[in-house]
Structure 1
Amino acid sequence: MDAKTAQLLDGKALAEQIYTQLQQQIQQMQPTVGRAPGLAVLMVGDNPASAAYVQNKERACAKVGIASYGQHFPTETSFSELEKVIQALNQDDRVDGILVQLPLPDHLDAVALLHQINPDKDADGLHPLNLGRLVRSEPGLRSCTPAGVMRLLQEYKIDVKGKQAVVVGRSILVGKPLAMMLLEADATVTIAHSRSHDLPTITRNADILVAAVGRPGLITAEMVKPGAVVIDVGINRVTNDAGKSRLVGDVDFDSVQRVAQFITPVPGGVGAMTVAMLLQNTVWSYSQRQ
């Protein structure tokens, strides 16, 4: 018999819609503000994955009309040099969003650098002040990946109210802020992680299952409740025996899509939404300055 497969949550298509909306919003606001919105992405070292992400972000900025003030620094750049650059960008009236591309080289303290960014220009939504605003349900800049997940659920009219949501992963980048956002949307939230006992029993209870741990194929079909919504935040590069590499998520897509009702693809799911939310954050900061 022909098994029914899950409906794809197409992050790439939704991101394109968001870009169109942002472009129109910028065109309307620019005559009043007198300049385009500005985003500064700081990259240190030459991690090829990071370089590709930064290029992707800059292309997206150009598409919607955001000016890029990105800077690329050699690996050995010191903390105090970067600190000076961030302070200057905090003062720069052309810049609405500042983002430090992670991971950073080992000698740099990412958290301490993040603390240097003016919270109102924190395009990644990761400053402690913005995380605090999220916890208190106050307006503010939201972490891009979790905000992208919520926007995707909203677009496909997936109501989370009263649903059992399980987030696998507790990072400050995704797991914790996403759990808070789901809670704010009236879901009942469980956070599972590497120390959780009997992960399959926990995940099988989920109406909405989010995988955000960075382990390829961790979530298999027998861990998923039939008819669940499965959101795959993982982006892992795996190489086959022939030496060819491809991107996969934390979910074993082929088996899980036969069980779930909705599923995000990798690539083309949450990753595309992360960039769209980064631009949305930048435009939001821009609109706050009027």
Structure 2
Amino acid sequence: MADWIRGRPLHEAAKEWARRHVKALEELGLTPTLAILLLNDDPVELETQRRYANLKLRDIKEIGGDAYIYELHDVPPERRTKAALELIERLNVADDVTGIIVQKPLPPWMNESLIFERLSPLKDVDGLTPENKKRLVAGFDLDRDVLPCTPAGILEMLKYYNIDVRGKDVVVVGKGELVGKPLSIMLMQLDATVTVLHALSKDKLYYVRHADIVISAVGRPPEIYKDSPWRLTGDMIKEGAVVIGVGGKVDPATGKWYYDVDEEDVARRASYLTPNVGGVGLATRSRIIRNLIITSYMVAKQVASPRVLGIDAPKLP
């Protein structure tokens, strides 16, 4: 039976660490403030994104910061990109906003590259602007850099539970910009041997069955999606594999969550496993908190007292 890889320790530590820095930033006249943009009008994506956004809002308020959700999904498609860009540009220059998240995925018809090109790298809490992506590819510091929140959260979980990825065969199922792609880059920099699988990959089960670590980041549960559904079950992994479940979606008709991993079945064969509730989601939220503090210090250098010009963002514990 698998040992559980839980996100709660990281989440609690991040909140405790952040509260201290919120007080320090407030002494400089700045309150960490997160703006979250919802642009997708697909019913499944919208309901899922609303759940995530409200959890982020709650976390930021718990540490003493502020957070606001901007819903633009009801703007007609022909005007939504323009409305999003105008809002992003206002938030970029707003002295009282220290972090911005554009919730992904965006509608497939939106110009995603343009959206993130316009987002200020200083306020990019998800690490998705071109400048932050370049920094990730060049080499990253898990303790200091603003990094994509879910990949960084996963690496922090593995580190916390002393699971070394060096020399391991790691399969990442899903090549999305938010998780799969940046996570694969980060794992390779940590000397893992990485295979990335997607909808057109051949022999997916072969690679999954031979992996030391399986990270499932698809988000297409069979209960919701009939086209290209995905669920990881116990017979798909080798005995003793480490399994990280990332993907989850809300059925808007029932309000019920469905996940990438059959938790009970996989737990019989895995050595370590993230629970669907209380696993990667909490680790992601912990990294959002930490990234917001880092971006807040960067903003403080621009808008607060000259006393902060020599202050760097704090090293994470």
Same fold (TM over 0.5): yes
How far residue 193 of structure 1 moved from its aligned partner, in angstroms, is: 1.9
Provide the rounded CA distance (Å) in 1 between the counterparts of 2:213 and 2:270.
10
SS across alignment from 1:98:
strand
Residues 138 and 156 of structure 1, relative CA distance in 2, 3 Å threshold: closer
Superposed, 1:43-58 pairs within 5 Å as 43-44=38-39, 47-58=46-57
SS where residue 218 of structure 2 aligns?
Answer: coil
Shift of 1:256: 0.9
Contact 1:40/1:68, CA 8 A, preserved across alignment: yes
Read off the aligned partner of 1:190 and give its amino acid letter: T
Matched, 1:18 2:14: yes
**2:37 match:** 42
Instruction: Quote how far apart the aligned CAs of 1:141 are.
Output: 2.0
Task: Name the structure 2 match of 1:270.
Answer: 280
Task: Name structure 2 gaps, 5 residues minimum.
Answer: 222-229, 302-307, 309-317
Cα RMSD for the two superposed structures? 2.2
Query: Percent of counterpart pairs with the same letter?
Result: 37
Q: 1:247 to 1:12 in 2, by over 3 A?
A: farther
User: What is the correspondence of 1:111-190 to structure 2 with a 5 Å cutoff?
Assistant: 111-138=113-140, 140-190=145-195
Conserved? CA contact 1:120–1:141, under 8 Å: no
Q: Distance in 2 between matches of 1:285 and 1:65?
A: 16
Equivalent pairs counted in the alignment come to 282
Q: Which residue of 1 aligns with 2:243?
A: 230
Cα gap change, 1:45/1:6 in structure 2, threshold over 3 Å: closer, same or farther? closer
The letter for the 2-side match of 1:48 is: E
Q: Distance in 1 between matches of 2:49 and 2:194?
A: 31
Segments of structure 1 that go 5 or more residues without pairing to the other structure are none
TM-score normalised per structure 2? 0.81
Equivalent residue number for residue 95 of structure 2: 93
Task: Work out whether residues 165 and 189 of structure 1, in 8 Å CA contact, stay in contact via their aligned partners in 2.
Answer: yes
Structure 1's 204 and 105: CA in aligned 2 closer, same or farther, altered over 3 A?
closer
Contact kept, 8 Å, 2:251 with 2:257, in 1: the verdict is yes
Q: Counterpart amino acid of 1:251?
A: V
Query: Which residue is equivalent to 1:197?
Result: 202
Aligned pair 1:28/2:24, yes or no? yes
Report the residue type matching 2:48 in the other structure: A
Using structure 1 for the length normalisation, give the TM-score: 0.88
Distance in 1 (alpha carbons) for counterparts of 2:40 and 2:250: 20
Q: In the aligned structure 1, how far is the partner of 2:82 from the partner of 2:14? A: 37
